[in-house]
Amino acid sequence: MIDLELDEEYQQLVDTVREFANEVVAPVSAKHDAAHSFPYDVIAQMGQLGLFGLPFSEEYGGMGGDYFALALAIEELGRVDQSVAITLEAGVSLGAMPVYRFGTAAQKERWLPALCAGEELAGFGLTEPGAGSDAGGTQTKAALDQGHWVINGSKEFITNSGTDITTLVTVTAVTGTKTRPDGTPAKEISTILVPRPTPGFTVEPAYNKVGWNASDTHPLSLKDVRVPEENLLGERGRGYANFLSILDEGRIAIAALGTGAAQGCLDEAVAYAKTRTAFGDTIGSNQGISFMIARMAARVHTSRLAYYAAAARMLAGKDFKTEAAIAKMVAGEAAMDNARDATQIFGGYGFINESLVARHYRDSKILEIGEGTTQVQLMLIARSLGL
């Protein structure tokens, strides 16, 4: 018999993060969303709780946990504030994890302790104006010159790239050409660590986004940026392949975020349906409303099972690419569908930005786009079926 109950250690983590989300994150979420301000105090307290170090070894100041622990924490944060949840997800999965997975001993010692403590943040510069889902279309270039990489190009939609505590952005760049097995030429794409500040590396003004307003997101420009040759992260020419493996893991974390958002919408809808009266009775007694909420509950349940299953395969050392794609797609759609339904249930109150369901309505759409669109997930699933 399969047991899907969390063990005591995982459950203690969930309980701790849930209490933190309710008592620390939720009370200031509307304020930061309205002001488009980064919640530095909240992030500092998350660092003190050890959330940024959850999946990293104690050698580098981490908590010695695993990726599933990170996903559980992200789910609880995503329930009340997606901006805070994505700050953690991107800071760990896209910021620190590439250094942990592919960095040299010196790179790990230099960067990981502060990243694990949440005292510093890192971003990952992959997306470009002409290279999003097709990251192989990277145009940014890097060439060696007297022991330094000289980088020129631009990046878009880079999370955690412009905060006051951002000290590092890893960028993908074309460092040459290579030959495919069939003899045709291809771009050699590598990843390079670019500290902040570095001359020529400019963080452009933040985007005015539809949602995730308290999350830090900027375009970046790199003009003759020089960094030491030893800032190459991992093997030269393996940058794209390495990032794809990071993205597979990240999809589990994004699925956890989507599950949390869907759960938050469900919680709000249930509470409102039990107290809001119309025509002499609570609206939850209306079958049209109760059935809508029942479907919301089913979506939460399904998306949670999907990311649990993907995480279980990952921790067991099995291939999990397809399961991660399924989880990411299912959870992103669950978050968007539940946000729409919760907003409908709340009526006019759901159209007010200060309400949690309104924020989820604006925030959730990006879960069907970021870290691989729904269409990309469908493509990956179809390929796994031999199509």
* Annotated catalytic residue within 75, 128, 333, 371: 371
d(CA 310, CA 329): 12
Burial of 206 per CB tally in 10 Å (0-12, 13-18, 19+): middle
Supply 69's token pair. 């622990």
Handedness of CA 89, 92, 98, 100 (dihedral sign): negative
Helices marked H in the chain:
8-20, 26-35, 40-49, 67-80, 82-89, 97-102, 105-116, 239-275, 287-315, 321-346, 356-364, 374-384
Pick the closest to residue 192 from 247, 245, 156, 153 (CA basis): 153
d(CA 204, CA 278): 50
371 is catalytic: yes
Q: Which of the residues are catalytic? A: 371
